[in-house]
Amino acid sequence: MPMSRIRYTLNEAVGDPREWSFTWAILDDVTWSSACGFCGQTEQRLTYEVVRAERVLWICQRCVGRYPVSGTLDGQVLDSRAVRAHIHGLTARQKQRTCHDAIRKVQAGLSDVSLSEVAVYFDRNLQLSPQRAAVLFSAMARMGEPIDARIFEVQTRSIAHQDEFGSLDEAARMAVWPALSPQQQRRLASRGYAPAGARRNARIWERRGPQVNIAGACMPALSDPASLIPETE
């Protein structure tokens, strides 16, 4: 897969990243519209609070993976490996909590019995099957909730899940499609399951795709759902 050639640089005011420390606060933006205080990247989901003296910035996952920001836990200075391990754990828990809360919010707003099943399924699997994703995403659209469907991981690795996606009607597949990574979309398209409407919007998916890929390429442990939650074939 071709890597993005866009170059990102630290804002001049940042100086030496080692002088900054994590507070361990994470902001999970379900509208995917946060910006990074280090590199200036916009349209971020997860940002991490870092401080230097009285200055506070929120930085993106990519910068977390790239720069040796300091971290202290229980009065002990962590090495960069321990910093990343701690961030990794916090991130995984934050993502789960965010998805759990988003489902509960939609559930509370609509008296739809099928959403209870989606909630139970998510809490058990920490991911959504294509059919559950379709139920949830169409409910989110009915409620007008400004939640980006990409916060959810949709299972497409197994043939059974691919076929489940393929068995959905066009509207349901279109509802799920934007939540899929470019790799997932390619896999489903190769099986003939891409919704017809996706071809019309191909440019939008392509524009969105690299945003997700850049973070994934630099810090796969944080952004690759498969590494957080193993999915059986």
Give the interface with Zn ion as residue ranges (CB under 5 A): 36, 38-39, 41, 60, 63
Q: What are phi and psi of 73, to 5 degrees?
A: -135, 125
Q: How far is the CB of 218 from Zn ion (least distance, A)?
A: 10
Q: Tell me the pairing of strands 72-73 and 55-60.
A: unpaired
At residue 139, the 3 state secondary structure works out as helix
Q: In sequence order, what E strands does the chain have? A: 21-28, 46-52, 55-60, 72-73, 76-77
Q: Structure tokens of 34?
A: 């946060």
Q: How far is the CB of 6 from Zn ion (least distance, A)?
A: 12
Q: What are phi and psi of 47, to 5 degrees?
A: -130, 155
CA distances for 200 relative to 54, 89, 196, 206, angstroms:
49, 39, 8, 12
Q: How far is the CB of 108 from Zn ion (least distance, A)?
A: 34
- Report H helices in 144-195: 159-167, 170-176, 182-190
Q: How far is the CB of 199 from Zn ion (least distance, A)?
A: 33
Give CA–CA dist 21/53, Å, rounded.
9
Q: How far is the CB of 113 from Zn ion (least distance, A)?
A: 42
Q: How far is the CB of 90 from Zn ion (least distance, A)?
A: 17
8 A C-beta contact, residue 82 and residue 70:
no
Bridge partners of residue 204, in order along the sequence: none
Give the nearer residue to Zn ion in terms of CB position, either 14 or 140.
14
